[in-house]
Chain A
Amino acid sequence: NAGVMQNPRHLVRRRGQEARLRCSPMKGHSHVYWYRQLPEEGLKFMVYLQKENIIDESGMPKERFSAEFPKEGPSILRIQQVVRGDSAAYFCASSELQGYGYTFGSGTRLTVV
């Protein structure tokens, strides 16, 4: 079992470009969660998805950010028109049961220049 796979590991974008972060959950896990970690801080919840559904997006900024978890393929976190403040590590976690037994991926470190 390869665990939670995130790619890319590092992503550099210029201000105004789009960033696409991908997360493949562990085999058998249908719950996906995205978290953001700013330097020297804890992780902050962004969004919780199940296949084809957004269950809770209360932590996601209303503008420029979107997430999906299609029937086939990885979950995608998309950030449009990136700004310097978007620079952070973005972690994906998956679980087999809702809200229990989270496994985290290695994260994508986004740098906006």
Chain B
Amino acid sequence: ELKVEQNPLFLSMQEGKNYTIYCNYSTTSDRLYWYRQDPGKSLESLFVLLSNGAVKQEGRLMASLDTKARLSTLHITAAVHDLSATYFCAVDMGSSGDKLTFGTGTRLAVRP
């Protein structure tokens, strides 16, 4: 059974600081997703990472994938309050799979 673990579960950081969220998964996977969820809202797709060494950046967020280590990271640069949300990674099995397995989420709070 595929397991996906995120850490930290909760992250409180000051504006302007950098930090990284980690996502480990237990078995080989073709695709890894990062989503953002604001309280009471749906999931907003941030990144889809398809291959080993993939790196994608959007604004202050950068995601990377190491399929050999079964690890993805979401790096936050110079955090701002608007980034406060819960971030989920999710993994699927690719062509042989049909569902996403989500991590537990990282709740990010950015303080002034």
Q: What residues make up the interface of A, taking CB atoms closer than 8 Å to B? A: 33, 35, 41-45, 48, 55-56, 59, 91, 98-107, 109
Contact = CB atoms under 8 A, between A and B. Distances in A.
B102 A43 contact: yes
Chain A facing B: main interface SS: strand
Contacts of B98: 33, 48, 55-56, 98-99
B104 A43 contact: no
Contacts of B99: 33, 45, 48, 56, 59, 99
Given A48-B98, A56-B98, A59-B99, A41 B42 contact: no
B100 A43 contact: yes
Given A43-B88, A44-B102, A99 B42 contact: no
Interface stretch (B58-66, B77-85, B89-97): B89-97
A33 to B, nearest CB: 7
